[in-house]
Amino acid sequence: MKNFKNSKLLLFLFFLGMTTTSCVQDDDYNVPEISVEEPNVAVNIDIKTVKDIYRGYEPKIIEAGSGSTMELYLQAYVVSNDEAGNFYKTLVIQDAPENPTTGVSISTNATDLYTKYEPGRKIYFRVDGLYIGEYAGLPTIGVLNGDEVGRIEIQDFETRMHRSIEKVELIPAIITIDEASDPERLNTLVQFEDVQFPEGLAGVEHYGNLTNTYGVNRDVENCDGQTIILRTSGYADFKNLRLPEGNGTLTAVLSIFNSDVQLFIRDIDDVVMEGERCD
């Protein structure tokens, strides 16, 4: 009799365990789906119009008219990528994924922007109340900081920035070193063909300094001996790599610092130099 009661107890515990296990498994498979929708904003301004507000000297406020409180949204595509550390607190956007006419840099205190706004991501950005100006000659949107363009605070930036569900392939504009001096190409994704690092740099020097975190300029040349500057941050995670020895293509975001036209790569995949050198 005692054995019979024990058997019934064991059988009861067995079925109770099975029921509990089934409930736990069922909960695991019933994770609610997350719905993502396209932001409902009205695009009523573009990058070119914003840049035209700036006429030189101190930054100018972005507004529909003097004293206007109308919300202004522009549409653009992200071309920068801060994952490798070569961009810092900066989001660079252009007006089209292919054959863009212009671009602009957004200065912000936000970091790890690649987690939400990766290259090719379409975005909508509210710009009214911000300022358009230049940082060392580079067209930049931000806040007013004295007589310069300052960084947008994180909360304000996130409130203004709307991430589209659309992500596209960026097609860099193939240009020559001569064409890199066109100011309308600043803050856009470009590509140079048949270029290389000069003798004495290729295979010898590194992208950055090994002993400090200062930024470094390295020349890139074409087969006619014309050069352009490749700028690498001292915090880039590829700075300790040697410059490639071959000839090939270089894709980069076109920038400027005062009178020096500069290139910023997003990561090491932007440099494909495996061909025979032309020197």
| DSSP β-ladder status, 247-257 and 227-232 | unpaired
pTM for this predicted structure: 0.86
Return the pLDDT at 133: 98
For residue 110, the cross-strand partners are none
Q: Is 22 contained in some domain? A: no
Structural domains counted in the chain: 2
Q: Is 94 contained in some domain? A: yes
Dump pLDDT digits (tens) for 62-102: 999 988 999 999 999 999 999 999 999 999 999 999 999 99
Nearest-5° angle of CA 123, CA 129, CA 130?
A: 65
- Domain closes at, from 127, 143, 167: 167
Return the pLDDT at 17: 52
Return the pLDDT at 36: 77
Range of the domain at 218: 173-275
133 plus 70 within the same structural domain: yes
Return the pLDDT at 118: 98
Return the pLDDT at 32: 42
CATH code for the domain of 117: 2.40.50
Q: Please name the residue that has the structure tokens 């063909």.
A: 193
pLDDT beneath 70: ranges in the chain: 1-35
Q: Is 30 contained in some domain? A: no
226 plus 122 within the same structural domain: no
Q: Is 212 contained in some domain? A: yes
